[in-house]
Amino acid sequence: MVLNAKQLSYRTVEISPGIGQVDVFKVSGQRQVPVLKDGETILSDSSAIIKYLETITKDPQLLPSHTEELAMSHLIEDWADTRLAKSVRRELIKAAALDSSLRVALLPEDFPKPFKEFVNKLPCELISGVAEVINQDESKELLNNLEQLSNLVSSNKWLIGDSLSIADIAVGAQLSLLRFPVSSGEQLHGKGCPGFNDNPKLETLFEWRDQLEDMLMATDPATL
């Protein structure tokens, strides 16, 4: 989303579990994404990536100039990249354990068809235990946090200040795992985590996320 906001040319590489993660480790020394490779520069932390891209172009400026707004944007970004990300991934695992079509849709496109068919036909009894170990208190905490965010964006275009910031991008990116946006592709679009993607109290939040993505994909960032 940051690269789109700054209208920088880039190429994405889909990472397959296992072998793909080995390739990421060879390049960055890390086993997780995102990883940015720009010539000889390799960065594997989202915050570091954003700071690096700010040195390339400040249009639009994603790090607020005002000290208090900058501090708040960093706090929200850190929360989104850590606690929110962990909670969202947990909910996605639970949803995939219960929904065979979601499990298949999450597999990389280059996975062999027989393997996808095998995953689709896995008996629910074998994997439903995954959903049962998810701490329901943590799910309630996540829902409460998202409801507060939904209330916030119902009357504010941006989470911090009067313009787009890293806070908006960090939160918007994590929401995409609770309800997959159009950019996720036909197989995933509209799918998500029960109790969240179909929760009317969060509809405003997901609409905000969709508008944010549409804006980054189609709008001149100089007008943001």
Identify whether the C-beta of residue 26 lies closer than 8 Å to the C-beta of residue 74.
no
Please state whether the predicted TM-score (pTM) of the whole model is above 0.85. no
Residue type, 79: W
Strand locations in the chain, DSSP E? 36-38, 41-43
Identify whether the C-beta of residue 111 lies closer than 8 Å to the C-beta of residue 17.
no
Extents of the domains making up the chain: 2-56, 67-223
The enclosing H or E element of 161 equals none
SS3 label, residue 9: coil
Question: Domain 67-223 - what CATH class?
Answer: mainly alpha
Q: Which residue has the tokens 């190429």?
A: 11
- List the chain pLDDT tens, one digit each, 224 residues: 677 776 677 676 655 444 343 344 444 444 455 777 777 787 777 777 778 777 777 777 888 889 999 999 999 999 999 999 999 998 988 888 888 778 777 766 655 556 455 555 555 555 555 555 556 788 999 999 999 999 999 999 999 999 999 999 999 999 999 999 988 888 889 899 999 999 999 999 999 999 998 888 765 444 44
